[in-house]
Amino acid sequence: MASNPIITLSPKWISRSEIYGHDVVAQYRARNNLASLAFSSHDAENDPVLQAHARMAEIALCVWAGIDPLQELNWSGRCDDGWDVKVSDTRFDVKATGPRSQYLIWPIRKNSIFASKRFDSLALVRGEAARFEIAGHIPKALFATEHRVADEAHVLDTGTWYMHQSELWTFPFLP
């Protein structure tokens, strides 16, 4: 059984991610991301550590794919176009989680906009600074039909769409 790729980020990427996390929060506070703010949950709009973690996961996918994160990622602190990283012709919406989590989730507050979001596949990247696992991916259309919905007994918030890591496609993939 092959293991998933592990990426160790350099101090440069960790530092850039931390700065980016603060920039994102500043953009929310300046009310420059009102469309995104409408779908934010768990106080993410005020959490630079969470924003930095998400950016580190995106950078890890770039590094794995041999793509320059400075060129590929949106560093403006404002909303992206619905996807985070493009590998070949596949637009990935990267979902970051901690090193022990096993779920790729679609945030409950975004359920109503899932179909309209412009991405091809969801990617799960697990970890914490500086070590990240490229845990798997799933095409958007397949996630739409195969996801589960968390109930009251689940560890996730009730109504959250999710898939267990074991259900995801492994990297590397053929786009």
Q: Determine, yes or no, domain membership for 163.
A: yes
Q: Determine, yes or no, domain membership for 125.
A: yes
Q: Determine, yes or no, domain membership for 174.
A: no
Return contacts of 87-90, CB within 8 angstroms, 24+ apart.
87/61, 87/175, 88/175, 89/120, 89/175, 90/120, 90/121, 90/173, 90/175
Please name which of 147, 146, 161, 125 lies closest in space to residue 53, comparing C-alpha atoms. 125
pLDDT over 50 (residue 151): yes
Q: Determine, yes or no, domain membership for 1.
A: no
Average pLDDT of 50-62? 96
Q: Determine, yes or no, domain membership for 172.
A: no
Q: Determine, yes or no, domain membership for 45.
A: yes
Please name which of 99, 121, 116, 111 lies closest in space to residue 158, comparing C-alpha atoms. 111
Q: Determine, yes or no, domain membership for 173.
A: no
Counting the structural domains of the chain, the total is 1
pLDDT class of 37 with cuts at 50, 70, 90: low
Strand, helix or coil for residue 97: strand
What percent of the chain is predicted at pLDDT more than 90?
Answer: 75
Position 34 scores a pLDDT of 59
pLDDT class of 104 with cuts at 50, 70, 90: very high
Contact 111, 105 (CB under 8 A): no
pLDDT over 60 (residue 108): yes
C-alpha distances out from residue 127 to 53, 54, 112, Å: 9, 10, 28
Contact 60, 4 (CB under 8 A): no
Q: Determine, yes or no, domain membership for 131.
A: yes
Find the domain containing 42 and state its range. Answer: 6-167
Q: Please tell me the distance from the alpha carbon of residue 81 to that of residue 74, in angstroms, as a whole number.
A: 9
Average pLDDT of 88-112? 94
Position 1 scores a pLDDT of 45
Average pLDDT of 58-85? 91
Position 67 scores a pLDDT of 94
